[in-house]
Amino acid sequence: IAPLVLPTLVTISAIDFATVILSESALSFLGLGIQPPDFTWGAMVANGRGYLATAWWIAFWPGLAIMLTTLSLNILSNWARTVADPQQRWRLQTLRKAAR
């Protein structure tokens, strides 16, 4: 059972982890998440919101980190699913043939 369930479990856990990152960032942005002595990306975006006209990078870089992390987790989970699932391996073989 494990070889059949593991690819799906890895995919779901990676996507759920990305969802948790987005939820925590949104709650921290709204002031409902982790409180000020600790830093979070959502709180950094919220702190930089007042400086968007003069110092846009204060909010831009934490927002970019949130976006890149969640996108990377989604791409990684899709790749892991393709590699681990025997029914999806033909996609990798097609890519390898096209690269030659």
Q: What confidence tens digit (pLDDT) does each residue in 69-93 have? A: 999 998 988 888 887 766 666 666 6
DSSP conformation letters of 66-100: HHHHHHHHHHHHHHHHHHH-TTTHHHHHHHHHHH-
Measured CA distances, 14 to 10, 34, 87 (Å): 6, 22, 20
Query: What pTM value is reported for the model?
Result: 0.76
In tens, the pLDDT along 30-59 reads 989 888 788 888 989 998 988 988 999 989
